[in-house]
Amino acid sequence: MTEFADRLHRSGRRMTPQRELILRAVDRLGHATPDEVHAEVRKESAAVNLSTVYRNLEVLEELGLVRHAHLSDRSPTYHSISDHEHFHLICRNCGRVDSVDPVLLVPLVEGLGREYGFVPDVGHLTVFGACVSCPEHAGEHTHERRTLEQ
Amino acid sequence: MTEFADRLHRSGRRMTPQRELILRAVDRLGHATPDEVHAEVRKESAAVNLSTVYRNLEVLEELGLVRHAHLSDRSPTYHSISDHEHFHLICRNCGRVDSVDPVLLVPLVEGLGREYGFVPDVGHLTVFGACVSCPEHAGEHTHERRTLEQ
DNA sequence: TTAGGTGCAAACGGTTTGCAGGCCT
DNA sequence: AGGCCTGCAAACCGTTTGCACCTAA
**Does A92 sit within 8 Å of B112, measured CB to CB?**
no
Q: Specify whether B79 is located in the same domain as B129.
A: no
- CA(B117)–C1'(C6) in Å? 48
Q: Specify whether A60 is located in the same domain as A94.
A: no
Distances (CA, A) of A76 to A24, A25, A109, A119, B148: 18, 16, 24, 22, 14
Q: How far apart are CA A75 and CA A147, in angstroms?
A: 10
Residues with CB under 7 A from strand D: A 5, 8-9, 14-17, 33-35, 50-51, 54-55, 58, 74-76; B 8, 12-14, 16, 18-19, 47-49, 51-52, 55-56
| Closest chain B residue to A110, measured at CA | B104
A57-98 pLDDT, tens digit per residue, is 999 999 999 999 999 888 999 999 887 899 999 998 888 899
Q: Specify whether B5 is located in the same domain as B59.
A: yes
Span B6-33, average pLDDT: 95
Q: Specify whether A61 is located in the same domain as A133.
A: no
DSSP secondary structure letters along B50-100: HHHHHHHHHHHHHTTSEEEE--SSS--EEEETTSPP-EEEEETTT--EEEE
- pTM (predicted TM-score): 0.88
A138 pLDDT more than 60:
no
Q: Tell me if A127 sits within 8 A of A89, measured CB to CB.
A: yes
A20-31 pLDDT, tens digit per residue, is 999 999 999 999
Contacts of B129 in chain A (CB under 8 A): 112, 118-121
Average pLDDT over all residues of chain B: 89
Q: Tell me if B91 sits within 8 A of A112, measured CB to CB.
A: no
Least confident range from A121-125, A138-142, B50-54: namely A138-142
CATH for A35: 1.10.10.10
**Does A111 sit within 8 Å of B132, measured CB to CB?**
no
* pLDDT at residue A149, rounded to an integer: 64
Q: Specify whether B78 is located in the same domain as B31.
A: yes
Contacts of A129 in chain B (CB under 8 A): 112, 118-121
Give the gap in angstroms from C-alpha A56 to the nearest C-alpha of chain B.
Answer: 16
If pLDDT is split at 50, 70 and 90, which confidence band does A145 have? very low
A100-122 pLDDT, tens digit per residue, is 999 999 999 999 999 999 999 99
B68 pLDDT more than 60:
yes
Tell which of B58, B83, B108 closes a domain. Answer: B83
Tell which of A37, A64, A83 closes a domain. Answer: A83
A148 pLDDT more than 70:
no
A37-63 pLDDT, tens digit per residue, is 999 999 999 999 999 999 999 999 999
* Nucleotide nearest the Cα atom of A53 (by C1'): C6
Q: Specify whether A69 is located in the same domain as A24.
A: yes
Tell which of B83, B106, B129 closes a domain. Answer: B83
Q: Specify whether B60 is located in the same domain as B13.
A: yes
Q: Which of B54, B70, B85, B108 to mutate to test the interface with A (most CBs of A within 10 A)?
A: B108
CATH for A118: 3.30.1490.190
If pLDDT is split at 50, 70 and 90, which confidence band does B82 have? confident
Mapping DSSP onto H, E and C, the string for A40-70 reads HHHHHCCCCCHHHHHHHHHHHHHCCCEEEEC
If pLDDT is split at 50, 70 and 90, which confidence band does B56 have? very high
* pLDDT at residue B93, rounded to an integer: 86
Q: Specify whether B98 is located in the same domain as B78.
A: no
Rounded (10°) CA dihedral A90, A150, A93, B79: -110
Q: Specify whether B78 is located in the same domain as B90.
A: no
Q: Specify whether A79 is located in the same domain as A89.
A: no
Residue B11 domain boundaries: 1-83
* pLDDT at residue A112, rounded to an integer: 97
* pLDDT at residue A150, rounded to an integer: 66
Q: Tell me if A62 sits within 8 A of A11, measured CB to CB.
A: yes
B137 pLDDT more than 70:
no
Span B84-110, average pLDDT: 93
If pLDDT is split at 50, 70 and 90, which confidence band does A134 have? confident
- Cα within 13 Å of Cα(A7), Cβ side: 12
Contacts of B104 in chain A (CB under 8 A): 108, 111-112, 115
Report the domain count for chain B: 2
* Nucleotide nearest the Cα atom of B8 (by C1'): D4
Q: Specify whether B14 is located in the same domain as B26.
A: yes
Q: Specify whether B60 is located in the same domain as B100.
A: no
